[in-house]
Amino acid sequence: MEKQPLGCFFFIVFLAKNWIMAIIAPSLLAADFGNLKQDCHMVNESEADWFHLDVMDGVFVPNISFGMPVIKCIQEYAKKPLDIHLMIVEPDRYLETFSALGANVITVHYEACIHLHRTLEAIKSLGVKAGVALNPHTPIEHLEPLIEIIDLVCIMSVNPGFGGQSFIPKTYDRILDLRELIDKKDSSALIEIDGGVTDQNAKHLVTSGATVLVAGNHVFKAKDPQATIAQLKAI
């Protein structure tokens, strides 16, 4: 499977880093899997920038989502970059597989990686952007030794495992702390927020320093998902 062109990916990232716009990544965890092609088409036709795919194994988090066969279908439908978030144990075992399925970004959890530096280097060796996700209880400063080689930090603003949870307000402070670390180390890492993102908190998230907003139920359960995405994009 071919990945989506990275030229557009880098252009979007450039704009996000320069505070012109936020990257909007609808989470397909909230999509209608009985009409997956239709929902993928909606994202393609919308102002969204990425597809966000949450892979859960029922071990690292108390839920099972979808795996390779579903992602293969999504990759065939998607016309925008795939942002794959691995909420799984031993993610290193599957990096090549997800890269082959068209991943533009692969994000692993800090809490799931014994040798995080090795994992990040393995992702980069595949020609894929490397992300690290932090659960709500994990201190931001744990990333200081590696922040220069991280392309994206995903701050979980809910406890991972289920969609539709309430946003954790402490996230704003964590974004500010992460932005300070990124600037201190002259890192180019994007800040992604995953969990409870809506039009009610999106502006505060972006002004705090977030550059990528993941939205699931807020988009796919809306009466007009495309209009909802446009509203988030305009913030």
Please spell the DSSP secondary structure of 29-43, one letter per residue: GGS-GGGHHHHHHHH
**Total structural domains within the chain:** 1
d(CA 57, CA 89) in angstroms, rounded, equals: 8
Q: What percent of the chain has pLDDT over 70?
A: 90
| Residue 209 one-letter amino acid | G
Residue 165: inside a domain, yes or no?
yes
Return d(Cα 165, Cα 158) in angstroms, integer: 6
In a domain, residue 181? The reply is yes
Q: Is the pLDDT of residue 6 over 60?
A: no
Q: Considering only 19-23, 150-154, 224-228, which range has the smallest mean pLDDT?
A: 19-23
- For residue 169, the enclosing domain spans 6-234
Instruction: Give residue 12's pLDDT.
Output: 54
- Kindly state whether residue 227 falls inside one of the protein's structural domains: yes
Q: Are 218 and 228 in contact (CB under 8 A)?
A: yes
Interval 106-163: pLDDT, tens = 999 999 999 999 999 999 999 999 999 999 999 999 999 999 999 999 999 999 876 6
Q: In the 8-state DSSP scheme, what is residue 70? A: H
User: pLDDT for 58-110, tens place per residue?
Assistant: 999 999 999 999 999 999 999 999 999 999 999 999 999 999 999 999 999 99
Domain annotation covers residue 176: yes
Question: How is residue 220 written in tokens?
Answer: 């796919």
* Inside any domain, residue 75: yes
What CATH number should be reported for the domain holding residue 138?
3.20.20.70
What does DSSP say about strands 23-26 and 129-134: parallel, antiparallel, or unpaired?
Answer: unpaired
Number of Cβ within 10 Å of residue 49's Cβ equals 25
The residues carrying an active-site annotation are 54, 194
Q: Let me know if residue 47 belongs to a domain.
A: yes
> What's at 122, amino acid-wise?
A
Query: Model pTM?
Result: 0.91
Asked if residue 1 belongs to a domain, the reply is no
Q: How confident is the model at residue 10 (pLDDT cuts 50, 70, 90)?
A: low
